[in-house]
Structure 1
């Protein structure tokens, strides 16, 4: 998918209601996860699993993702993290 024509989100748009559920694409443009929720300055992502079952929750700084809207208005993000790198991270636990 060519993300160059997608509209980047402004920092004021990086809010939980807008970001939750966004698909995350890795460096090879493969789907690597989805935003579960926003936790402070971090995004908690569901990585792996199938239909949300068995997914691992990992937190990354929101600045590690580039959020945008596609031509249909769907929010998505791209990152340099690979699925393998994310799966190797400690699981995020909300306190």
Structure 2
């Protein structure tokens, strides 16, 4: 996915209603997870699994992800983290 024409979200747009469900793309532009929920200044990302089954929830600071909106209005994020790096983080528990 070419992110060059996507509009970066403002800090005011970094809300649970907007971010939850957003796809996370890794450094090779592959899908590596999705935002499950916002937890303070962190987002909890479900990594791995299939259709949410067997996914590992991990918490990452919101500012470590580049959230943007595509041409169709869909919200997603890009990161330099790989799927393996995210999966190596401790499991998030609410």
Task: Specify the TM-score bucket, using the shorter chain as the normaliser.
Answer: over 0.9
Partner of 2:78: 78
Q: Under a length normalisation based on structure 2, what TM-score does the superposition of the two structures give?
A: 0.99
Partner of 2:5: 5
3-state SS of 2:44 partner:
strand
Post-superposition Cα deviations, 1:22-65, rounded to whole Å, max 9, x if no partner, equal 00000010000000000000000000000000000000000000
Alpha-carbon distance, 1:6 to partner: 0.2
Alignment length (residue pairs): 94
CA RMSD of aligned residues (A): 0.4
Q: Distance in 2 between matches of 1:89 and 1:67?
A: 21
Q: Under a length normalisation based on structure 1, what TM-score does the superposition of the two structures give?
A: 0.98
Structure 1 residue runs without a partner (length 5+) = none
Within 5 Å, which residues of 2 pair with 1:6-85? 6-85=6-85
Q: Distance in 1 between matches of 2:83 and 2:33?
A: 8
Task: Report runs of 4+ in structure 1 exceeding 4 Å deviation.
Answer: none
Structure 2 residue runs without a partner (length 5+) = none
